[in-house]
Structure 1
């Protein structure tokens, strides 16, 4: 790969050479690769189901952990704990990324799923504020920190694993299944809530039914151990070498870290705006019922999932950079009008079409999210670079998105949030415009 000083996302003066400390590749046949990718994807789905179950049941359990009061105020408290789960993600990204680069992607993925399940179980069995007072939200925070720590590690390990297990020339398609299963986790969480709504009264869900999705998540996390033998390491673990998985080695790639963080910031703020926060936005701003909002998001989330492999495969032809330019440019131009129109939507159909339009633009990023980041780093720091860079940006911009939106709404400046989303995406567009195509110039080649 040629060095062009000053170009974002490729080695230049001050960056590390192409992969002097790379792990030795492990050669697998096509069938084994496919089975391993499926197993890794199942773990990713369970991880994100557990993570999103919190967001989609918040409307029901907010009153269980905080004193009685204004509904928006209770949601702000729940969103603050949700944000705390993001704030610890960089620590999880560092810990599990370092572990994955030294001891293998497989081991890191399994450990993170089990930790997520433990956090989910804790939420499911927690006593309420009426029972133990202030200890209830404190323990809810502990559980959410466990989940956030786990998620910070899962993203980098899964992105690296799926990118490395893929056949050359089909990496966009293979790696898109990270977000297929991430969205699948969201969809499963939504479907679980929808099932509760169909089988139980709202009062029953608020009283105890909201616990079911968390207990289910813990059971699924334990069941994931049945799939672990299908997963094969994509590279021989590098061990505890001086540079393997170290921050010292990672800091030799400052441009790659900057690209990951800038684009992850835009991806995180838009993803959480148009998925987890959108259910609350449809209820609090568009005036929909909780049930109608859940049904709308169930349909558009499924369509969002279908787009991932299509646009991932497209990136194998047009390049990751083109995908990223379409995403960041589209969101810069349309975030404000789309959010405004969704807030004024008066039917489920119109709201659903507008949310899907937003997610269609978003899909140009999510379909290549893990892959282009993995392509920017050598194998010895790949999981660490992807996981830590993504986690920092997600903590700052993703974890606070819902809290910022609700706080601005309460202050009477709800429209300002849309402009904030647009501004973050404008910065990402500049970064994507200046970067070179990672498919052609990245370390995976």
Structure 2
């Protein structure tokens, strides 16, 4: 790995003067992005009923179709990570960030206007797939652009703290999505939710995208000597840094399956397998996400002091060992048991999520950092994170719901092996 030793008074390489403003610009726009992305998950049951026809009286069929579209969005993320990562490396991080939030707003409007199967037949599913593809491109670019922006805006010894705000902001977006969905579900009747209520959160997301655009346009471009070099080609990182690309995949695989298991799939699992109603599951999800957001900076600060490897290894080993018994602790209909399990899973996950942005940024040299992170990270998330709800639901439909937590544990073991060989980068200067 290559590191650049920054000179404190060098105007080319020093971090932006107003670190707090940079933190807000990177984080607040990210809130909007992830609100838009996750509100789809929380309303999947309603979307399934209106956009996809049921078959043979089995409610899992339209739900599987809805989660399949959820996965389609993930498979567009590597394209977004590569294309918008290249934009960030060639034209600046801020340009990529404003592009992602515009794309997400457009996709939200498209989902809000999606016709139902009853009124337009197959046109509804086609429009929904197109909207999720657009969201996928935007989300793929969002992680890589906001990761590099936040870490490069941090001073030495604060990269873990700044990096933690990627998942703080992403989780706040999820909380807003979950909270908005919960509020609407509790306020409207079941029939109103099916008729038009599920569209409201997507309209709100389109408006929030304009707010995110306004905030990001006022951000300062992180400075670095990489801006003075010849701009890299689209596949520069894959050609010249293949080891680093594979390393990003290994770092991500356990974290992404754990993240989408605890935050996205568990509420649906509780409804389908443990007798929880929609309102109860959404409320548990919202409370546990607030807890998750609050503990992220603590993980980032701890990694700046102790290093990245102890937190990563603790996450992977802890999740591999405890995932199965934790899910087995869920008692049918028990609010407290579901809340405990989800919060415990998120506490373990913090060892990865709070520092993932810093670890990824520290792997690649600055010149190819955004695109270098974007493609392998988004590809891994698509293969293992985006498919988590679908795999879990499919296993349940096959009568093998108990296999899913073992699947999560096995992928965390893979990442644990990578973390054990990962060099410690917390106290090294970041190449600028």
Aligned-pair distance for 1:252? Answer: 2.5
User: Where does 1:242-253 land on structure 2 (aligned, <5 Å)?
Assistant: 244=232, 246-253=234-241
Q: Of 30, 44, 48, which residue of structure 1 is paired with 2:34?
A: 48
User: Where does 1:294-313 land on structure 2 (aligned, <5 Å)?
Assistant: 294-313=282-301
User: Where does 1:82-161 land on structure 2 (aligned, <5 Å)?
Assistant: 82-161=70-149
- Residue number in structure 2 paired with 1:37: 23
Structure 1: how far apart are the matches of 2:187 and 2:299? 36
Is the contact between residue 85 and residue 144 of structure 2 (CA under 8 Å) also seen in structure 1?
A: yes
Task: Provide the TM-score with structure 2 as the length reference.
Answer: 0.94
User: For residues 264 and 25 of structure 1, do their structure 2 counterparts lie closer, same or farther at Cα, with a shift above 3 Å needed?
Assistant: farther
1:297-349 CA distances to partner (integer Å, 9 max, x unpaired)?
Answer: 1111100111100111111111111111011111111111112223x444101
Is the contact between residue 164 and residue 300 of structure 2 (CA under 8 Å) also seen in structure 1?
A: yes
1:63-96 CA distances to partner (integer Å, 9 max, x unpaired)?
Answer: 1111134221111000000000001111110000
Number of matched residues?
426
Is the contact between residue 36 and residue 230 of structure 1 (CA under 8 Å) also seen in structure 2?
A: no
Aligned-pair distance for 1:25? Answer: 3.8
Q: Of 189, 193, 199, which residue of structure 2 is paired with 1:205?
A: 193
Structure 2: how far apart are the matches of 1:246 and 1:176? 28
Structure 2: how far apart are the matches of 1:429 and 1:46? 32
Once the two structures are overlaid, the 10-residue window that deviates more, 140-149 or 193-202, is 193-202
Task: Provide the TM-score with structure 1 as the length reference.
Answer: 0.92
Aligned-pair distance for 1:287? Answer: 0.8
Structure 2: how far apart are the matches of 1:196 and 1:380? 45
Structure 1: how far apart are the matches of 2:135 and 2:338? 31
Aligned-pair distance for 1:438? Answer: 1.8
Aligned-pair distance for 1:203? Answer: 1.7
Structure 1: how far apart are the matches of 2:277 and 2:307? 41
Unpaired runs of at least 5, structure 1: 1-10, 12-16
Structure 2: how far apart are the matches of 1:280 and 1:24? 51
User: Where does 1:221-300 land on structure 2 (aligned, <5 Å)?
Assistant: 221-235=209-223, 244=232, 246-300=234-288
Q: Of 324, 328, 341, which residue of structure 1 is paired with 2:329?
A: 341
Structure 2: how far apart are the matches of 1:131 and 1:112? 32
Structure 1: how far apart are the matches of 2:48 and 2:333? 26
Q: Of 412, 415, 427, which residue of structure 2 is paired with 1:428?
A: 415
Structure 1: how far apart are the matches of 2:250 and 2:159? 22
CA RMSD, Structure 1 to Structure 2 (Å):
2.0
Q: Of 184, 190, 215, which residue of structure 2 is paired with 1:196?
A: 184
1:142-193 CA distances to partner (integer Å, 9 max, x unpaired)?
Answer: 0000000100000000011000101211111111100000011100000101
Is the contact between residue 237 and residue 372 of structure 2 (CA under 8 Å) also seen in structure 1?
A: no
- Residue number in structure 1 paired with 2:368: 381
User: For residues 345 and 327 of structure 1, do their structure 2 counterparts lie closer, same or farther at Cα, with a shift above 3 Å needed?
Assistant: farther
1:192-215 CA distances to partner (integer Å, 9 max, x unpaired)?
Answer: 011102321122111110000001
- Residue number in structure 1 paired with 2:402: 415
1:233-262 CA distances to partner (integer Å, 9 max, x unpaired)?
Answer: 002695796562542344332332222111
Is the contact between residue 170 and residue 316 of structure 1 (CA under 8 Å) also seen in structure 2?
A: yes
Aligned-pair distance for 1:442? Answer: 6.6
Q: Of 382, 402, 414, which residue of structure 2 is paired with 1:395?
A: 382
Unpaired runs of at least 5, structure 2: none
Structure 2: how far apart are the matches of 1:242 and 1:168? 26
- Residue number in structure 2 paired with 1:166: 154
User: For residues 386 and 116 of structure 1, do their structure 2 counterparts lie closer, same or farther at Cα, with a shift above 3 Å needed?
Assistant: same
Is the contact between residue 101 and residue 244 of structure 1 (CA under 8 Å) also seen in structure 2?
A: yes
Once the two structures are overlaid, the 10-residue window that deviates more, 222-231 or 86-95, is 222-231
- Residue number in structure 2 paired with 1:368: 355
Is the contact between residue 186 and residue 279 of structure 2 (CA under 8 Å) also seen in structure 1?
A: no
Task: Report the secondary structure of 2:223's partner residue.
Answer: coil
Structure 2: how far apart are the matches of 1:300 and 1:100? 33
User: For residues 54 and 240 of structure 1, do their structure 2 counterparts lie closer, same or farther at Cα, with a shift above 3 Å needed?
Assistant: farther
